Structure 1
Amino acid sequence: MNSVADLTLHKRIRSDISERILSGAWPPGHRIPYEHELMAEYGCSRMTVNKALAPLAEAGLIERRRKFGTFVARPKIHSAVLDIPDIPTEVTGRGEVYDYELLFQRVRTATLREMEELGLDRSAQVLVLRSLHRAAGRPFALEERLINLETVPEAADVDFGATAPGSWLLSHVPWTEAEHRISAANVPRAVATALGIELMAACLVLERRTWRSADRITHVRLTFPGEAYDLVARFAPQGGLSAS
């Protein structure tokens, strides 16, 4: 194969794999075809396959594991203190019974504030959700979420009365970057009522935005009663971090 054809082919392979990942056809953890399988599929050399895979690994879309193969990478959260797990998984992992209630769901044009929260520079259709998570029958977190329907149009047809939005997004929508903001707040009456706490009680507020490349996916605000949630971070001299 000449060098021009080789260059064109490795870009095509890279594009095909990237499209399958970003479309959600290959979710995080999915094993992509082995190198010899790609060689057979595209009729090319191992060098061409490596040229296609290397930029995807550098971009964080795939993870190459020696002796095991190549997998769609699980997203890494850019946060100095916290990796937020899936709430149902976290609650049941603590040995408590998890319960969830959808309080509000509506499709509408984003307001100026919602555009700012999602990081949009123009108006778009959004899905607005408000949900309550419970642990052992007690309010655990109030979730206020926006989903950008230009990026995730299929979310408009999901029954979020049966599935928590965060769990559905983690299972169905690949993302490449996330941003966290953590703060303490004295919550207003509506939030206090939903959480069953006193007006102006101290709460922990976690806000997260996620992207798929340049596309905005979701903005969520999770409000936890002060006594319901702890942040624990363990640091290592090398800069390593684990959190719970």
Structure 2
Amino acid sequence: MSTTAGLARDHDAVVDAQDIVSRNSALPLHAQIATHFRQLILAGMLPNGYRIPPEGDLARQFEVARGTVRTAMATLLAEGLIERAQGIGTFVSVRARLPQDDSSTARLLSTGERLIERGIEFQNTLLERRLVDEHRSLEAFSAHRVMHIRRLRTLFDGPASVTDTLINLDLVPEAAQLTDDSLAAGSLHATLRYSFGVEFTWAERFFSAELAPAEVAQLLGVAPGTPVLCHEEFSYTHEHDCIEYSRSWVRTDQHKYAVTVRDSRG
């Protein structure tokens, strides 16, 4: 998979449709446009107060429907990256400066979404998909119908992670109809969010060191028993229902996590 975002050289060169929008991408067009502007804003290439071109102009430049641009702008507005002034226009928000690496905690993004946002190319391979009835082995994740998928993520240097994901079909039954290509898309969170309107509002993430099981080690291209990072995540909706659970085994020579904490008192 190739990411579609490209950074403008100056404030006026906001878009280059050939570099930004790809109709062969797994991400919807509005998500690609939002990703492009998000990168420009977070990288400081569109300064605070910069006026975003009108939706009609952007639609012509990207060669997409005006509604597609409107949806992209609505995403950025919800994230607090842009703001609208009635009768004047849309501007980069003065509150838009966020950390520019994996340490950002202001938005709930999956690992795949962060890689896409940072312009890092990767490819997912769907290894398995199956429906499971009555899954109650995890205290926080309980559902009558579950879809289990396993994916291998590869970066430019080779295999990076193996991930098992459980999707709660009680909460999003339409996910059972997703094609294999959709399940192997760059970001499963993005697919669920933009295809079915799933709102991930908070998550619990757990990290531990483990020895790679034989099957996982073979997929990662390491010897069985090699230390790997285990990353578990429970993703919730605003109703506090666990809609997705994932468990990843990550090669630490291919990927690392960073976390920034802020004192709420200051």
**Partner residue of 2:208?**
183
Match for 1:169: what amino acid? L
Q: Deviations over 1:132-185 (max 9, x none)?
A: 111115111111000000001110001143424233124341122211111111
Match for 1:142: what amino acid? V
**Partner residue of 2:131?**
107
Q: Deviations over 1:172-216 (max 9, x none)?
A: 411222111111111211111111111111111111111211322
Supply the distance in 1 between the matched residues of 2:263 and 2:203 (Cα, whole angstroms): 25
Asked if the contact 2:115/2:121 (under 8 Å) is kept, the reply is yes
Q: From the superposition, tell whether residues 183 and 194 of structure 1 become closer, same or farther in structure 2 (CA, over 3 Å).
A: same
Classify the secondary structure of the residue corresponding to 1:161: helix
TM-score normalized with structure 1 length: 0.57
**Partner residue of 1:145?**
165
TM-score normalized with structure 2 length: 0.53
In proportion to residue count, which structure has more helix? 1
**Partner residue of 2:192?**
169
1:98 aligns with 2:118: no
Mapping for residues 1-244 of structure 1, pairs under 5 Å: 68=85, 83=105, 85-91=109-115, 96-113=120-137, 116=138, 118-120=140-142, 123-136=143-156, 138-162=158-182, 163-164=185-186, 165-171=188-194, 172-212=197-237, 213-236=239-262
Q: From the superposition, tell whether residues 201 and 108 of structure 1 become closer, same or farther in structure 2 (CA, over 3 Å).
A: same
Match for 1:228: what amino acid? Q
Asked if the contact 1:181/1:208 (under 8 Å) is kept, the reply is yes
Classify the secondary structure of the residue corresponding to 1:110: strand
Shift of 1:220: 0.6
Supply the distance in 2 between the matched residues of 1:239 and 1:191 (Cα, whole angstroms): 43
Match for 1:221: what amino acid? R
Shift of 1:63: 8.0
**Percent of counterpart pairs with the same letter?**
23
**Partner residue of 1:6?**
none
Supply the distance in 1 between the matched residues of 2:245 and 2:257 (Cα, whole angstroms): 21
Q: Deviations over 1:47-99 (max 9, x none)?
A: xxxxxxxxxxxxxxx78998658xxxxxxxxxxx7757444444456665311
Classify the secondary structure of the residue corresponding to 1:140: strand
Please tell me whether Structure 1 or Structure 2 has the larger radius of gyration of its CA atoms.
1
Supply the distance in 2 between the matched residues of 1:188 and 1:117 (Cα, whole angstroms): 23
Classify the secondary structure of the residue corresponding to 1:226: coil
Moved more, 146-155 or 95-104: 95-104
Q: From the superposition, tell whether residues 98 and 124 of structure 1 become closer, same or farther in structure 2 (CA, over 3 Å).
A: same
Match for 2:249: what amino acid? T
Supply the distance in 2 between the matched residues of 1:205 and 1:239 (Cα, whole angstroms): 32
Shift of 1:235: 4.3
Q: From the superposition, tell whether residues 109 and 202 of structure 1 become closer, same or farther in structure 2 (CA, over 3 Å).
A: same
Classify the secondary structure of the residue corresponding to 2:225: coil
Structure 1: stretches of 5+ with no match in the other structure: 1-26, 30-61, 70-80
**Partner residue of 2:100?**
none
Classify the secondary structure of the residue corresponding to 1:151: coil
RMSD over equivalenced CA pairs, Å: 3.2
Classify the secondary structure of the residue corresponding to 1:154: helix
Match for 1:149: what amino acid? L
Supply the distance in 2 between the matched residues of 1:94 and 1:133 (Cα, whole angstroms): 16
